[in-house]
Amino acid sequence: MKPIIAPSVLSADFANLQRDIEMMNSSEADWFHVDVMDGVFVPNISFGFPVMEAIKKYAVKPLDVHLMIVNPDQYIERFAQAGATGITVHYEACVHLHRTVQSIHQSGCKAGVAINPHTPVELLKDILSDLDLVLVMSVNPGFGGQKFIPNTLSKVKELRAMAARLNPDLIIEVDGGVGIQNIESLIQAGANAFVAGNAVFAAESPSKMISDLKNISVGDIRI
Ligand SMILES: O=C(CO)[C@H](O)[C@H](O)COP(=O)(O)O
């Protein structure tokens, strides 16, 4: 099974957003990854509803919305209305995570939980069966173009083993510093969805890079 590739709109050229969206539409990308940052949960501010609605207007693929914000519960319904297909909230930002996940499902979206590099996978044990996706951050969230943290590989392996018992259909998405140099080992570890910002948008041909990531040959596929 080929991996899910979700180019991150954060790394697109915002002055040519429609052009970059059309590129993603006609590429082998599966999802649009939409990073929302509030300047509180992470030390950066990206964009909010108007940009998200503009993306939705042209995108013909699912919008995978990653909320790097405090109090995400306040905004779930609005992100669903703005066109999200899936909404991922941070474990570290939610006090009543089970309730938040229920709200995401009630809004009609797929539900994901993201964990920061320092957050142990085992903390997800009691929520795992309620999730469609876990997003494993392989950089500290807030900025594109950072260096992949190698410890992510063992976290993905541990999570896939836990999911085999509790939620075999779980999508494990990796976000941060992902590219052609590490996607194969991440697939072998058990991940099956990948966010790629810099790797795609700094490439000479972004659509070819998306295709190369999508069609990577993997020795021992475990998904
Ligand atoms: O969530 C993010 C930052 O918080 C970005 O999606 C992520 O960093 C992807 O960018 P890159 O592939 O350039 O690392």
CA distances from 62 to 6, 59, 117, 196 (A): 9, 8, 26, 15
DSSP-derived secondary structure for 117-148: TTS-GGGGTTTGGG-SEEEEESS-TT-SSPPP
Distance 136 CA to ligand 1 centre (A): 11
Instruction: Tell me the average pLDDT of the chain.
Output: 97
Return the CATH architecture of domain 4-214: Alpha-Beta Barrel (3.20)
Q: Which atom of ligand 1 is nearest to the CA of 177?
A: 14
Tell me the best of 33, 138, 139, 148 to mutate to test the pocket of ligand 1, counting ligand atoms within 8 Å of each CB and taking the most.
Answer: 139
Decide if 180 contacts 213 (C-beta within 8 A).
yes
**How many C-beta atoms surround the C-beta of residue 166 within 10 A?**
16
DSSP state, residue 190? T
The answer to whether residue 161 scores a pLDDT higher than 90 is yes
ipTM greater than cut 0.85: yes
CA distances from 28 to 93, 107, 223 (A): 32, 28, 19
Q: Give me the pLDDT at residue 220, please.
A: 52
The answer to whether residue 77 scores a pLDDT higher than 90 is yes
**Residue closest by Cα to atom 1 of ligand 1:** 141
Distance 107 CA to ligand 1 centre (A): 26
Output the pTM of the full model. 0.97
Q: Give me the pLDDT at residue 219, please.
A: 78
Per-residue model confidence as pLDDT tens digits over 5-30: 999 999 999 999 999 999 999 999 99
Distance 153 CA to ligand 1 centre (A): 17
Q: Where are the domains of the chain?
A: 4-214
